[in-house]
Amino acid sequence: MYAPFFKKGKYITKRIVFNESAIANLKAKASLNNINNPTRVEVVTAILSKCLMASFKNKTGIDTALAVNHTVNLRGKGEPPLPECLVGNFLRSVGAVFTMEEELSELVSQLRKAIKKVDNDFLKKIKNGGEDGFSKYFDVLKEIGDLFTSPIYGSGAMELAIYSSWCNFGLYDIDFGWGKPIWASCFVAYMEDSDMPYVNMIFFMDTRTGKGIEAWVSMGEDDFDFVEKDAELLQYASIDPSAIYY
């Protein structure tokens, strides 16, 4: 499913931080076209995706669609809902394809439709296990793979971004006996030029206040050179700011 999107080269990670005020502004912008109550994860995914597509066009000179793979936490979903205290990777991937001409609200709408596919029918079959559960999960992966390789987007005119949200995981409430953390961080991916393949990956984490988002973005260094200078992005975000102010 991801094989066509692997690249090689220098791979770096930087933090792109959206504070509470910036997210409120993004939500207001996304709400203009009848999008009700957009979430912070939805609007940050949308603005970052617009920035990534602009970066890829700057590099290649052609409009580039973005295959968006988002990970959905299954806890609390279904009838009856899965317990919040489940241990392990209770998740499902969803897929959408964003294009450059779409507005922020349209990208939010696309992502929301993809996430709604994590419905009770899916969860029932997964909880029952057996061949039905395996078949249902396989069908989901095949559907995403077919979407990402669809010929309607053109050959070589699509990039991949894998998103995962760790927001609301309560990382700032963890106390092992020496106090709660001042800053909870994600892993940092870094590779010099090598034959090791990589894909664009973005992890969302709460800021310390719990109302902003720290996006840990890992991608090719040459692509990041454009991203961190993107005027639209810089209206809402800071690149690698001090951790103590958020």
* Residue closest to 36 by CA, chosen among 90, 126, 109: 109
pLDDT score for 102: 94
In a domain, 130, yes or no: no
Structural contact between residues 21 and 9, judged by C-beta atoms closer than 8 angstroms: no
Residue 220 in this model has a pLDDT that exceeds 60: yes
Q: What is the percent of the chain with per-residue pLDDT over 90, rounded to a whole number?
A: 47
**Alpha helix (H) ranges present in 61-192?**
104-115, 120-128, 130-148
pLDDT at 235 over 60: yes
Q: What is the pLDDT of residues 50-64, one digit of tens each?
A: 999 999 998 888 888
Greater confidence (88 vs 240) lies with 240
- For 13, 21, 69, 89, the CA distances from 85, given in Å and listed in that order, are 31, 31, 25, 12
> Is 125 within the bounds of a domain?
no
The CATH number for 182's domain is 3.30.559.10
Q: How many residues does the chain have?
A: 246
Residue 9 lies in a domain: yes
Q: Which amino acid is at 14?
A: K
* Structure-token pair, residue 154: 């053109």
Q: Which of 180, 221, 184, 218 is nearest to 202 (CA)?
A: 218
- Its pTM stands at 0.90
**Has residue 108 got a pLDDT over 60?**
yes
Q: Which residues pair with 22 in a beta bridge?
A: none
Domain membership flag for residue 127:
no
Domain that holds residue 225: 3-120+148-239
Rounded to whole angstroms, the maximal C-alpha distance in the chain is: 55
Q: What's residue 18's pLDDT?
A: 97
Q: Is residue 139 part of a domain?
A: no
Domain total in the chain: 1
Domain presence at residue 182: yes
Domain assignment present for 161: yes
3 state DSSP class of 159: strand
78 assigned to some structural domain: yes
Work out the pLDDT band at 212, boundaries 50, 70, 90.
very high
Q: Which band of pLDDT confidence, cut at 50, 70 and 90, is reported for residue 40?
A: very high
